[in-house]
Chain A
Amino acid sequence: MSESLIKNHNERLKGLIRKRRFWNIFLSIGILLGLIFSSKIIDINASRLLSGLPRLGDYVAQILPSLETNSLFLDSKTEGSISYWYFNLPKYLHLLFETFNMALVATIIGSSIALFLSFFAAKNTAPNSLIYFITRRTLEFFRGVPEIIFAILFVWALGIGPIAGIIAMMLHTTGSLGKLFSEVHENSDVRPREALKASGGNWFSEMKFGLLPQVLPNLISYILLRFEINIRASTILGFVGAGGIGQELYLVINFNYYEEVSAIIFLIILTVISIDILSGYLRKNIIEAE
């Protein structure tokens, strides 16, 4: 009896190990083939990499500021001081403020539209399956197309400036939040809504009282997360002329205003990290308030 048990167990263990081994080999071969194939396509090779590396080093050295310890805090006329490095700070701050506002406006409008559409994109709240299908596909389209592609299109139509960037981000935000929101709706508890329905409440009161109170903390948390993403996105939309600090960054990189490159990049990093921390703190509080 016990012998057969042990035998059985050994058999099973062997099977598991065999399966595991199969997967490991399968993955390794897949990765190897992928590596060979893709290096061929991209025409990557050691000599190109090696010749590029020193140039990268040179470039990084060029864009970093030449700060000198004894003149660090002197005025903007003295080379080697921080204020010399950041002589253009007022302009940067102005552009950063624009970047921030682009992200915020796009998040507010985009998430409002997303909230509205999400009711039609969730299986359990859509009035019928045709509307569900159409809304879902529309949201997927807006989510799937990168915002910068939209930005190119709107810059062409509306001219250079932040409005094009805002609309581009707004559309992308609508797409991705709309989908996330509808998934939250689908995972919500149906019982409170059932009670609303059973008492003769219409669809609007069902959503407002039966659904929203349940999902709201989740939605807010997703909106904050999206805001973080939009802050990042709005720093680069300027590359195609859609406003924000990206426009300036693109300019200084292309015109080789070396030290300004690092000055702007550091400012962007500072902004992104502080927004992340702030929004992370808010999200944590919202979740803990539950």
Chain B
Amino acid sequence: MKSLRIKNLKKKFKNTIAVNGINIEIDEGKIIGIIGRSGAGKSTLLRMINRLVDPTEGSIEFDDIKVSSIKGRALRKWRSECAMIFQQFNLVERLDVLTNVLIGSLGRNYNLLNLFGIFSKEEKINALKNLDRFDLSGIALQKAGTLSGGQQQRVAIARALMQKPRILLADEPISSLDPKNAKRVMDDMLKINREDGITIICNLHSLEVAKKYCDRLIGLSDGKVVFDGNPEELTTEISKELYDLDNE
């Protein structure tokens, strides 16, 4: 059985339909790239999986969790299993790197002391280990705001790992990075996919990167799936259509 099942998913905002009936099923342990123009509904799709955005219609299920309808504690538990990283990294810039990583554990293992900035020794060791995996333990005590974009995104990945997630959603993770840093971030994601078996669903603007790293590509256009298959199957015609290249 496929672990993540999305059925007839729709999202309407005031005047626009961002996602218009998406059906996909996703295997565990793969890297799935979601491609398409900006405004194609990629970001809304990911946000609905994490439930930052509530779907208007349709359902999302993961194993036996009814993701699209859970509330409260169950929703927070789901969110902690379904980590997310963002185009703008979304770190707390005034806090140090270590605390930013520790924050990732709050959804999974929360206690009142955390609110005073106190974390257990185990979580701290855990956080440092996660940073160390990406060669970031040296800057653990720097303010997050002082880091380069690439470093910030990798800290965000370390934070995501603190959640001990089963899925990682990456919303345009390399769009604000230069090619060198983009490669490092993608390599790091590949690493956690291969070593930890975490499923990754990744919105990507760059086809080249998507083809190189992803096991499966899903092309969206106007909120609908227009392509679903292996990277090799993606022909030039389809990609032209996806990105509306003729009109540019």
Contact = CB atoms under 8 A, between A and B. Distances in A.
Interface of A: 191-192, 194-202, 204-205, 208-210, 213-214, 216
Given A192-B93, A194-B90, A196-B103, 4 more contacts: A194-B52, A196-B106, A201-B76, A202-B106
A195 B90 contact: yes
Given A199-B83, A200-B80, A205-B110, A191 B104 contact: no
Contact of A199 (B92, B107, B114, B117): B107
A202 B94 contact: no
Contacts of B52: 194, 197-198
Contacts of A210: 92
B92 A213 contact: yes
Nearest to B83: A199
A202 B84 contact: no
A207 to B, nearest CB: 9
Interface stretch (B16-24, B32-40, B155-163, B236-244): B155-163
B86 interface: yes
Interface of B: 50, 52, 76-81, 83-84, 86, 88, 90-95, 99, 103-104, 106-108, 110, 114-115, 117, 156, 159-160, 163
B91 A200 contact: no
A interface, over-half SS = helix
A209 B95 contact: yes
30 contacts: A191-B86, A192-B92, A194-B86, A195-B91, A196-B106, A197-B52, A198-B50, A198-B52, A198-B79, A198-B83, A199-B84, A199-B104, A199-B160, A199-B163, A200-B77, A200-B78, A200-B80, A200-B108, A200-B163, A201-B76, A201-B107, A201-B110, A204-B115, A205-B110, A205-B115, A208-B115, A208-B117, A209-B95, A213-B92, A214-B93
A23 to B, nearest CB: 38
A200 B103 contact: no
B103 A199 contact: yes
Contacts of A202: 76, 106, 110
A55 to B, nearest CB: 58
A200 B110 CA distance: 10
Contacts of A204: 115
A201 B162 CA distance: 12
A191 B110 contact: no
A192 B90 contact: yes
Nearest to A192: B92
Contacts of A196: 103, 106
Contacts of B159: 195, 199
Contacts of B95: 209, 213
Contact of B103 (A191, A194, A205, A214): A205
A200 B107 contact: yes
Contacts of A195: 84, 86, 90-91, 103, 156, 159
Contacts of A216: 94
A252 B117 CA distance: 52
A199 B106 contact: yes
Nearest to A213: B94
A214 B94 contact: yes
A214 B92 contact: yes
Nearest to B116: A208
A266 to B, nearest CB: 43
Nearest to B84: A198
Contacts of B115: 204-205, 208
Contacts of A199: 79-80, 83-84, 103-104, 106-107, 159-160, 163
Nearest to A205: B106
Nearest to A193: B90
Contacts of A205: 103, 106, 110, 114-115
A197 B79 contact: yes
Given A195-B156, A208-B115, A200 B92 contact: no
Contacts of B90: 191-192, 194-195
A250 to B, nearest CB: 45
A140 to B, nearest CB: 29
Name which of A200, A204, A208 has the most chain B CB atoms within 10 A of its CB: A200
Contacts of B108: 200
Contacts of A197: 52, 79
Nearest to A215: B94
Nearest to A290: B94
A216 B93 CA distance: 13
A202 B114 CA distance: 12
Name which of B84, B93, B107, B163 has the most chain A CB atoms within 10 A of its CB: B107
Contacts of A214: 92-94
A229 to B, nearest CB: 27
